[in-house]
Amino acid sequence: MSATTAVNNVPAPATPAVIALDQIVQEYPRPEGGVNRVVDNLSLRFTGPSINMLLGPSGCGKSTLLYMMGGVRPQNTNMPTSGTISIDGAACTDAHDDAVMVFQRYANRPDLTVYDNVAFPFRLKLWRDRIPSAERHEKVMHMLEAVGLADKAKLRPSQLSGGQNQRIALARSLMLRPRILLMDEPFGALDAQTREEMQKLLVKLYREYPCLIVFVTHDVTEALLLGDRVVVLSTQPARIADDFEIATPKPRDSGWLRMPEAAALEQRILSRLHQAAGKGNVRVTI
């Protein structure tokens, strides 16, 4: 998609974000000696705006790759062991100003209201400097409207459901129109109905706020419903088992999942994973 392409009549960012992973290897020491290789010589390139699904069995190394893209580095860990990660051509070794992460655990502040949780980025100098104070309230309320929580603005997270809490986290992450949104199984802990609602909401918000999304999941159905591109990873050590695009416009629904195109893609994914058999499971929700 070009820099001038519009999504749902909303102009795309003038400069699309690019994440490049080049020959990534990640190893961790074993307590008994030696190393455990989690990622094996993996190269990928993501360009926005697009929704890119990183699909693979649980424990295969998907989240490890996502954390690398987000500049998350555990203490005393060399990450990656070898290879390079760059954002817009510059090495990514720490948190990046244009990248925001969303986790399965939504990390909302329990002592703050819904409104203040969504407005929390404005407490940090980097984000505070980007948006004039006169515009902040309007932006927060617009985002609360977008995720259906305007009437809950004065409540605390403990007064809301898991799905509503994930809406808060999503609203906060999109508040400043990030060029890159990194999502680590954000809907994995939700019940089936709420997960479906959140998937639809993500597509809606993406059409309004297009950006580069990399979304980790082990749910085949979720990958097919949301992805412009699906990268299938093998079990540990993670290698690329498949990589394809889905041309069918979003939103996609359960009816599309029963169509021959979707059924063929599902079987393609499961076949690729079977060929790279090992530990770990994927899920098919519909």
Domain ranges of the chain: 16-98+178-279, 106-177
- Whether the predicted pLDDT of 274 surpasses 70: yes
The pLDDT tens digits of the residues spanning 57-101 come to 888 889 999 999 998 887 777 889 999 999 999 999 888 888 999
- Whether the predicted pLDDT of 4 surpasses 50: no
The string of DSSP codes covering 42-70 is EEEEEESSEEEEEE--TTSSHHHHHHHHT
The pLDDT > 70 percentage for the chain reads 91
Fold (topology level) of 16-98+178-279: Rossmann fold (3.40.50)
Give the separation between CA 229 and CA 232, rounded to whole angstroms: 10
Mean pLDDT of the region 26-51: 93
- Whether the predicted pLDDT of 22 surpasses 60: yes
Give the separation between CA 184 and CA 103, rounded to whole angstroms: 5
- pLDDT, position 93: 86
- pLDDT, position 7: 41
Q: Of 5-9, 64-68, 107-111, 242-246, give the lowest mean pLDDT range.
A: 5-9
More confident residue, 8 or 215: 215
- Whether the predicted pLDDT of 117 surpasses 90: yes
pLDDT tier, 5 (very low <50, low <70, confident <90, very high otherwise): very low
The pLDDT tens digits of the residues spanning 174-193 come to 887 889 999 999 998 889 99
